[in-house]
Amino acid sequence: MKFTLKVMKHKLLLTGASGFVGQRFLIYNKEKYAISPVSLQRVAADAINYDGIDGIVHSAGMAHQMKKIEDQVYFDVNYTLTKQLADAAKAAGVKHFIFISTIKVFGEHQKAVLTENSPCLPTNDPYGESKLKAEKYLQSIEDNEFVVSIIRPPLIYGPGVKGNLFRFLELGNKPYPLPFKNIDNRRTMVFVDNFIELINRIIETKQSGIFLASDRSPISTEKLIGEIRLGLGKERNLFSISGFLRSVLAAFKPEFALRLFGSLEMDTSNSFKRLNYTPPYSIEQGIKSMVDWYKSTLNH
């Protein structure tokens, strides 16, 4: 007679399941964990059934919006709902709370390479301020029975990406030359599947603290657009613009110029060492995955 040992899956509550990261987390981990998605827009935090839940992955939030919205909306969603969820979960005996924060808590214009201990100065940025306020509250209620893990990701890319990166994909698909040659900046980004593997590692090790997320190395704007065009089956077809034109662009479109030419780098080595973690996917694999998804949208 054979006996099979049944391994109990982690039971997780996931917020933000309809978002970019949440959707991918569900697909990626459908066999690995028993995941219950919940919408805080539809169900009050104290009305959720927490029975048997081992941990919460709180990925819901109000991300930075290009269009103007009231500052209070960021605080209502990113701080107040997080506080209500954490309070209810802790009272119900949930042991682990994973909060998806953002690199924006450091502020927009940090010139040094960022670490977990870099100063947080999200001045005049309600998105970064509201996430930082939520982080501080979660740390204030943490104890031995309620472990809090905070992850600060940079720009996340991959299948289903939206916003500026989707526009970058569209730009890469254009037939004309693009002015991105010799832009050797260093920007930390993270492929969504590497990000999910990091979350999984935190679930499994149940480690407390602040963690930074990234791919194995930073990427330049030139390499990013080059890899996108490679994935689209096109020539790189890039040219360089003068320092004068860059300075003119910086004067008239400072935020746009900063994203194109500026560096924003995080040193994630300490986070990875604490978790004994290495991103399993290369930047090239991540960009190819994103570009393949983008190509599939062109056929619909």
Q: Which of 141, 208, 163, 198 is nearest to 63 (CA)?
A: 163
pLDDT band at 184 (very low <50, low <70, confident <90, very high): confident
pLDDT (tens digit, 9 = 90+) per residue, 39-62?
998 999 999 999 999 999 999 987
Half-sphere exposure of 276 (CA within 13 A, CB side): 4
**Gap between the Cα atoms of 23 and 240, Å rounded:** 38
Confidence of residue 244 (pLDDT cuts 50, 70, 90): low
Give counts: helices (H), strands (E), the chain.
Answer: 11, 8
Please give the single-letter amino acid code of residue 185. N
pTM listed for this prediction? 0.92
Q: For residue 81, what are the contacts with CB-CB under 8 A and spacing of at least 6? A: 40, 45, 60
For residue 2, give both structure tokens.
């054979």
Q: 8-28, pLDDT tens digit by residue?
A: 788 999 999 999 999 999 999
Q: How confident is the model at residue 247 (pLDDT cuts 50, 70, 90)?
A: low
SS3 102: coil
For the segment 113-127, the average pLDDT, to the nearest whole number, is 90
Contact criterion met (CB below 8 Å) for 185 and 221: yes
**Do residues 48 and 13 make contact, with C-beta atoms less than 8 angstroms apart?**
yes
Nearest to 55 by CA among 196, 166, 149: 149
Q: How far is CA 49 from the centre of its chain?
A: 27
